[in-house]
Structure 1
Amino acid sequence: MTALPDRMRPPRAEGWFAEDLDSLPEAPRHTELIDGALVFMMSPRRAWHGRLVTALTTTLMAQAPAGFEVEREMTIRLDARNRPEPDILLTDLLYDPDRTWYAPEDVKLVVEVASPESAHRDRTVKLRKYAEAGIPHYWCIEEEDGAPVVHAYELDEPTGSYAPAGIFRGTLRRPVPFEINLDLDKLTPPRNA
């Protein structure tokens, strides 16, 4: 691995801030900010992950009623030192071609597809941070025998934490944030025999 360019070193002793991400052209694609530290997606993404994210994005776009937008790989500015990049997010803001991030109050659903490199952050760190930011719905998708399994969470507003809303295999039906009906088995092609 080569040394980081000087522009990739934190500009201050406290580390990085959310607004710094927009001025890092040398940063690898899919760079996140978690607790003031840059997190790079260094391992290659598997074909399964890419196919699932693409299929889920297009399926959600087809089901989303007017007033909802589906975005992939856009950051959410949770606070001054946290700007994670979920695989998919659902917002009620109109499309803005110059947007580089969303505020948590504009995000209705966050979807993370866990990979070996991101699983711990997706299952624990992001689960907590998205809830603390007030995002109403979170899905963490795992792979089980080549098929997607959705762990759905809904924000319990009195406690400010997520409550499990179900584990879905085969099909997913949720009434929120809008009526969603997914055939999970059709989101990824079967493995070659």
Structure 2
Amino acid sequence: MPDRVLPEASKSEWRALLAKGRAAVSAQQRVAEAAALADAVAGLSATTACCYVPFGSEPGSIALLDVLRKAGTRVLLPVVPPAPGPLDWAEYTGTSSLVAGRFRGVLEPNGARLGPGGVGEADLVLLPALAVDRRGVRLGRGAGYYDRSLGFAAPGAGLVAVIRDTELVERLPAEPHDVRMTAVLTPGLGLVELPRE
């Protein structure tokens, strides 16, 4: 469990432990978590939301995107660029608009590209994470796409990481370039606001 990690553990040590924990999650638990997250997101209000399509062991499902769309929210999804850098964005208009992306298992929208500044149109940004600490420090997979992209986010936009309940931890290693989350969304806890520094 992540709570057993020593405070001085490195990001790579955290990632290894969290990956092991995610690999142990049963298919039944994933389905239940996805339904709970879709229910929880129904309580969020946004004109435009940047989201993502979960893949692999990430919690959530496409149903979460559809809940937002049915509520009248414009949903933007990331498009991974050919070289490491900020993400591009395009509108999600339903499952028929999704195509295979650059990375195996990642689905992306096939519509018109909005460029890295697309995230600046959102008042809510839901993003993947392996864990988040109580200070809002987010641990991602390590490629840096979201760290580079969040610099384009609108001031005051809600930055909400979608994680499992056990992935909200006391303290993660932080670096100066890490963008702090304003909240997390979990299957059991729902939306948990984090302190803004």
TM-score by length of 2: 0.27
- TM-score normalised to the size of structure 1? 0.28
* Structure ranking higher on relative contact order (CA contacts 8 Å, 6+ apart): 2
Bigger strand share: 1
Query: Which protein is bigger by CA-based radius of gyration?
Result: 1
